[in-house]
Chains A and B, each alone.
Chain A
Amino acid sequence: MTGGSGLSDEFLVGDVLDGNPGAFSELVRRHQRALYRLGLSFFRNGDDAADFTQDVFLKAYVNLGSFRGRSKFSTWLFRVAYNTAINSSRRKRRYEPLDDETAGNGLSTEDEHLRKETIAALKCAMGALPERQAVCLDLHFYYGMGYGEIAEVTGFPVNTIKSHVFRAKKELRISLDKEKA
């Protein structure tokens, strides 16, 4: 990923490791939104999600030397985040797709309806999965990760992830079909 500064994440990581901690701020700026959203889905509480986001960035900073560039920086960061969330004692509820009434601003009525249907179908699909695997669907549908990347983040086999995504898509299709009918 390259942001406003035009430099890749991997370049910025190298910069931080070479003794320029200021470059880490740019990495925070680029990934804060995704991590905070992930935190909200896990904790369903703004304060806990904010603490989680900060925690993940600090852990990432301290362990930055162990990022070897074999995967994308965002994948590595999500792996840190996933482990932090799964091991957190503050997490009391299951992972769920995030809903926000204000998100519909600018959407047509039909698209807003589609969004609600998607969220309902994903909630249903996630509810049928073991707790630790529910996040795989959001990593694919919201964050746009490939199966290999999700496997790297969560440690689950690619085929397991593929079948979960396939089932969720099927569920979504059925739900949209019902609406059309």
Chain B
Amino acid sequence: MTNAVPGTPYGPASPRLMRETEILERALESYRRPLAVTDRDFVERVAAVLPYLPRPGKIVATRNWVGTGLILGFSIVLVPFGAEYRVFRAFFGAGYSLPMALVSALIITAYCALFVSSHIRELANRIHTRRHGAVVNEREAG
């Protein structure tokens, strides 16, 4: 059975406490009333500028980028230990290693270039922070 008397977790509240709570709530409620001065419309003002801004796109989290990069790196390191690699090497000879290494290097370079280009602002902010010790809108990046 629940206690029907309003009060605190320690027991029923005194009338004085209840009155005080009510006044405090009314005071805060009156403070929260919308103000006439804040009644301005920004929809058109903002919409007029949007076409001139770069379109926002979905950003892959840095953690996911690093995770995928690690998997990619490990996969490339493990290639020489694979059965297929040995078959290809037996078929094409030692000359197979060089193009294989070049392709791997190309893949890693392309991945790193993509990462840097998509995180250029974040990286610039980090470098700025290290050099000048100031944080510029770092938290805005979410």
Interface residues of A (CB under 8 A from B): 16-17, 19, 21, 24-25, 28-29, 32-33, 36-37, 40, 46, 50, 53-54, 57-59, 61-68, 76, 79-80, 83-84, 87, 97-98, 100, 102-105, 107, 111-112, 114-115, 117-119, 122, 141-142, 144, 155, 169, 172-173, 176-177, 180
In the complex, the answer to whether A63 meets B56 with C-beta atoms within 8 Å is yes
In the complex, the answer to whether A67 meets B27 with C-beta atoms within 8 Å is no
In this complex, how many residues of chain B approach chain A with their Cβ under 8 Å: the count is 41
Interface residues of B in 106-139 (CB under 8 A from A): 136-137, 139
In the complex, the answer to whether B30 meets A115 with C-beta atoms within 8 Å is yes
A102: min CB distance to chain B, Å: 4
In the complex, the answer to whether A176 meets B23 with C-beta atoms within 8 Å is yes
Interchain CA distance A165-B100 in the complex, whole Å:
64
In the complex, the answer to whether A176 meets B27 with C-beta atoms within 8 Å is yes
In the complex, the answer to whether B27 meets A17 with C-beta atoms within 8 Å is no
In the complex, the answer to whether A111 meets B26 with C-beta atoms within 8 Å is yes
Interchain CA distance A176-B36 in the complex, whole Å:
26
A–B Cβ pairs within 8 angstroms, 8 of them: A25-B46, A33-B34, A50-B40, A54-B42, A58-B53, A107-B33, A115-B30, A144-B32
- Contacts A24-B46, A58-B49, A61-B46 given; 17 further ones with Cβ under 8 A? A17-B57, A25-B47, A40-B38, A57-B46, A62-B54, A63-B141, A66-B141, A68-B142, A76-B142, A84-B137, A87-B137, A98-B35, A102-B35, A103-B36, A111-B30, A118-B31, A142-B31
- The 5 A-B pairs of least Cβ separation, nearest first, read A115-B30, A64-B56, A66-B142, A65-B59, A102-B36
Interface residues of B (CB under 8 A from A): 20, 23-24, 26-43, 45-47, 49-51, 53-59, 61, 136-137, 139-142
In the complex, the answer to whether A17 meets B58 with C-beta atoms within 8 Å is yes
In the complex, the answer to whether A118 meets B56 with C-beta atoms within 8 Å is no
Residues in A with CB closer than 8 Å to B54 are: 62
B18: min CB distance to chain A, Å: 14
Residues in A with CB closer than 8 Å to B46 are: 24-25, 28, 54, 57-58, 61
Interchain CA distance A157-B54 in the complex, whole Å:
35
* CB-CB nearest in chain A for B25: A114
In the complex, the answer to whether B56 meets A65 with C-beta atoms within 8 Å is yes
Residues in A with CB closer than 8 Å to B39 are: 33
Interchain CA distance A54-B41 in the complex, whole Å:
10
Residues in B with CB closer than 8 Å to A36 are: 38, 40, 42
CB contact between A33 and one of B30, B38, B50 (< 8 Å): that residue? B38
* CB-CB nearest in chain A for B138: A83
Interchain CA distance A19-B20 in the complex, whole Å:
52
Interchain CA distance A118-B29 in the complex, whole Å:
10
A73: min CB distance to chain B, Å: 11
Interchain CA distance A163-B106 in the complex, whole Å:
56
